[in-house]
Each structure stands twice: as C-alpha cells, then as structure tokens.
Amino acid sequence: YAEAGIQVFGIAPGAVKTAMTAADFETGGLADWVASETPIKRWIEPEEVAEVSLFLASGKASAMQGQILTIDGGWSLK
C-alpha cells in the first residue's frame, strides 16, 4: 500500500485505565497487581495511547510503514 501513499499501522495497548477496566480498580480488583508487575509500575493513561495515534496520523510518521506499536509499559519485554 505504500506505493499508493497508504500507511498501515497497528497499536497494541497493554493495561489502559479506561471505563472498560474500571472494575479492576475496585476492592479485590487486578489494578495493584497489574501495576506492580508492569515495569513502569503503573497503568497506561488513555492520553498516552492517543498521543501515539496522533503521531501516526501526522506527517511526522511519513517514513514509517507497517509497524505494530506496543504501548504496554514494558509488559511484553518481561
């Protein structure tokens, strides 16, 4: 698709603090465990994923093609 000027990316987020994961922050939820096991010791904020998305959609990512960007605080590197 690059020949047609189309860029293709994937975003693979880890544990993101959203309404969908709200139950994990209730008593007995997984939030503390997930944070302690993630190398950056916290959950990902939605804005952090949004910033990467905006970068990919901008002209600043014009030299990139076919990448999957993992935004998981280092979880996949463990």
pLDDT digits (tens, 9 = 90+) for 48-59: 999 999 999 999
Give the count of domains, the chain.
1
Q: Is the pLDDT of residue 1 over 90?
A: no
pLDDT recorded at residue 27:
84
Residue 47's alpha-carbon distances to 6, 38, 50, 66, in angstroms, are 25, 18, 5, 23
The percent of residues above 90 in pLDDT, for the chain, comes to 88
* Full residue range of the structural domain in which residue 19 is found: 2-77
Query: What pLDDT is attached to residue 51?
Result: 98
pLDDT in tens, 3-26: 999 999 999 999 999 999 999 999
Query: Domain holding 53: CATH number?
Result: 3.40.50.720
